[in-house]
Structure formats: structure tokens, C-alpha cells
Structure 1
Amino acid sequence: MKITISFLAILPFALAQVGGYGQCGGNNYSGSKECQSGWHCEKLNDWYSQCLPGGGSSSSTTSTTSIPSTTPTTSITTPIPTGTGPGTTLLSGWYWIRAVAAPNFHKYLQSAPPRTASRAVIENMATAAQANIIAGQLVQTLDASGSKVLYAHVTPKAGSETKLQVTWSTEKDTYGTFSWSGDTLTWSTPGIQRQNNAAFLVCENQNLYVNLGAYAYLTPAGCVDQTIHYYNGATVD
């Protein structure tokens, strides 16, 4: 009797490992969750987990938890800044992007920590990003050459949310389109009808969100309504 043994039955299925700062998890994500050696997969939000420096290769989509003999503590790896920075003088082809109303008057768009694939925030002018919209993508440059960039990601709407968090990634976003209306930043997607495409929210820890509700009406607790505008002065003010 001839016996055929399928290699698929005895060999593990190997997924390619995700490189540094690549996506490794999140709702509807179907790719590899295994980071390259020396990196770990950390959850940034329900829709996006990312390979960040530290630890061995990991398929976890949550922060690593260390449990000592007494009180449990959570160890969170801080992303390492990428690129040398664009400098404090505005580069050709880029803008400063800032809020122009209290309580965030002249606070600037950036990532937290600066120049990392992490949260999008409206924060101190000293660490302002230089950014622009390129082919519908909101992009910040990480160096003076523009060869290293991060892309703004809007967390996809999954239920009855009234706000969608904005984060930064090394990969282009596929959800919605950023554009300018005059000097005002807007975001839209065919699946969502918004009363004001320029409505944003700045919430806890200065995190930036797309506001799906009416501007300055039923503002979520812990948030303030903001519109965000480009500024092309040579330096921030």
C-alpha cells in the first residue's frame, strides 16, 4: 500500500516576520503578528498594533506585563525617535499645522513621542512636526530630506463612536482622505457623513481625534473642539 504524507501536516506554517515599526495586529488585520528579533508587538489602539523596539520576537498585541513577587506592574516600551528631525526652520514643501483657538492656541500637530509611529497630538511648539498632505495622506517628515516620513492613520469606525483617534504609522493609511479647505485641515471618507469635515477634537493627553459629531455641540467629556490650520512662517510662534 502506498502511503502519502502531506508536508503541510508535519511542517509548521511560517508567516513572514514584520519589520520594525510595521503593523502586527488590530481589528480586521490579517497579516503576520510576529515581529522580527529584538522587537515586540504592542497595541496602540483596537485597530492598530505595531512592532516596537525591545524584547524578542513576539506575536502579542498587548503591552508586556511583568509580574514580580509582590505588586504587578506593566512595562511599556517607549518608541525610539526616528530620523534626525527636520530642524526648527520650515522646509520647502512642508507646513506647520496648529490649532488657533483656546485652550490649544498655537499648539502644533506632532507625534508623541516626537518623530515616532505613535499617537497624534496637538502639543508644545518646541516639538512641532513639519507636515503636508500628499495624495490624500497627511504626512510628517522625520528629517530635512523628506526621505523618512510617517503617515497619519484615522481609526476606522466600528460602531457608534462619535470620535476616531488619529495615530502615526510608517505605512500609508487606506481609510479616508485628508485635504485642505483654504488653510484648514479636513478629513472625509465615503462611508461617513459629517456635518463639518474640518471638525477635530483634542482630548486626554492632547490626543487628536476626528470629530464625527457637530462642532461645539455635545462635545465628549474630556475633549475640546478644534479646527486645525497650516502655517507657513519660517518658524513656529
Structure 2
Amino acid sequence: MITYLSLAASVALLVGGASAQTQSQYGQCGGIGWSGPTLCPSGWSCQKLNDYYSQCLPGSATPTPTTTSNPGSPPVTTLPPTTTNNPGATPTLAPGYSFIRAVEDPNFHKYLRSEVSSTASDAVLGEPVDAAQFQITGGQLVQNANGKSLYAIVEAYTGADQKKLQVTWSATPSTSGAFSWSGDTVLWHDPNVPRPQDNAWLVCPDADGNRDLYINLGPYSYQTPAGCADETIHAYTGSTPTD
């Protein structure tokens, strides 16, 4: 006797077969609209980087952040510590985190960090060996500073004569604007700050040669402030930062 599958059953089998396939290391395994493989190789797990992209990364599932709040205050997120390295050793990416780096000259593959490592100081781009690790949650860009949360704070906007807003790190969450991902690109938006492009950033050296990070309030690569370079900054989820 010949048995015919219904169309719905056939589709279910096809979808189930795709979901059961194993994705490659560092391959996409989930996200809104994703219909490809959702399983990762042995010793790897599917880690959510944003609503549209999850990736096969080494290790177990993403640790769950602990969030506490006081009435009238922004939530505070406590993150588990990242992997501890010896001084001068290249950092290893912890599950659920991303490095963030620029991809254009003159700051090609310079990585986001604190000017003074793991402390509340200026946000700067530096060498791979000093790369910090990040999550974006609840509109906050959160740096894991050896188990302590540092939050990206954008300088207050005071008027149309400003061309850029400096970014610093604080132990207290930001109360204005919101960070988000667009694919792997870092965005910042505040409805009270006029800005043509949410993905436009500037890197401007300070008096000591540190590459300070700024929100660019102008269009990308147009009327760039003297001494600064236009940049976009992106998540990088390789196991170690590369040059």
C-alpha cells in the first residue's frame, strides 16, 4: 500500500531536517527569520548576540545576567567574570560576549576598551591584546570589567554647535539614549539628539595619544572634525581578537 504525506507533513519534515543539521563552528544558529541549522558541534552552544543573530560559540550556554533595580533608578546588571588572562596575554572571548572593533583605517581592527583597563574612564580603541568584552542589554552597552559592569555613557547634548559627544565608562547605568545592534554594527540613538546616522562614530586622539571614542553628530565622512577619523564599530565573535 502506498502512503502519501500531506503537504503540511512534508513541510514539517523538511523544517525538522534543517533544524536537526549541525552548524559549523562560529556559524549562525538562530535569530529572527533564521531557518537554517540550530544545533552546534559538541562542546559548542548557540549563543544569542541580538534578536536577529545567534552564533555557535565555544562553551556552554550564555550565563544569565542578574538584574537588580531600585524604584526610580535604572536597572543594574551584574555579569559573570570573563576569562582571566595573564598580563600581556591575548584575551579569550567568554560565551555570550562580543569584542567590538573598528574596521576602517586608520583604526582598522582597534578594539573597544577603557582607557584605564577595566575601570570607569574614557572609552578608547586599543590593541587586540587589551580588548574588552561586551553585551548590549536593555539599551545599555555593558563592558564586563572582570565581573563588574561598566556602562557606556554619552556626553550630554547641549546644542547644534556640537559636532561630537564623548563616550566614557561608568559604574552607573546610562539614563539617556540607547545602544542597539544592527546586524553586527553598534548603533546609538537618542530622540532628543539630532543625528543623521545612528551608526556614525568618530575616533579622535587626546593629548596622550589615546584613541577616544565619540558619537558623530554629523553625516558619516563629511565635515569630519579636525584630527578625527570617521568609523563604524562592529561586534567580533572570534575566540580571540585579531590584528
Q: TM-score, normalised by structure 1?
A: 0.62
RMSD, aligned α-carbons:
1.4
CA displacement at 1:192 relative to structure 2? 1.8
CA displacement at 1:224 relative to structure 2? 0.3
Matched, 1:214 2:219: yes
CA displacement at 1:134 relative to structure 2? 1.1
Matched, 1:186 2:170: no
Q: Unaligned regions of 5+ residues in structure 2, if any?
A: 1-80, 86-90
Amino acid in the other structure paired with 1:128: A
Q: 1: CA distance between counterparts of 2:152 and 2:120?
A: 9
**What are the within-5 Å matches in structure 2 for residues 1-237 of structure 1?**
86-87=84-85, 88-143=91-146, 147-159=147-159, 160-204=161-205, 205-237=210-242
Is the contact made by 1:86 and 1:142 (CA closer than 8 Å) also made in structure 2? Answer: no
Q: 1: CA distance between counterparts of 2:183 and 2:97?
A: 15
Q: 1: CA distance between counterparts of 2:131 and 2:156?
A: 26
SS at match of 1:109: strand
Q: 2: CA distance between counterparts of 1:180 and 1:211?
A: 17
Is the contact made by 1:86 and 1:130 (CA closer than 8 Å) also made in structure 2? Answer: no
CA displacement at 1:85 relative to structure 2? 6.8
Summarize deviations over 1:135-175 as a string: whole Å, max 9, x none. 100011012xxx41100000011122110000000000011
Which residue matches 1:76?
none
Summarize deviations over 1:41-68 as a string: whole Å, max 9, x none. xxxxxxxxxxxxxxxxxxxxxxxxxxxx
Q: Percent identity?
A: 52
In the alignment of these two chains, the number of paired residues is 152
Runs of 4+ in 1 over 6 A off after TM superposition: none
CA displacement at 1:125 relative to structure 2? 1.0
SS at match of 1:126: helix
CA displacement at 1:193 relative to structure 2? 2.8
Is the contact made by 1:85 and 1:142 (CA closer than 8 Å) also made in structure 2? Answer: no
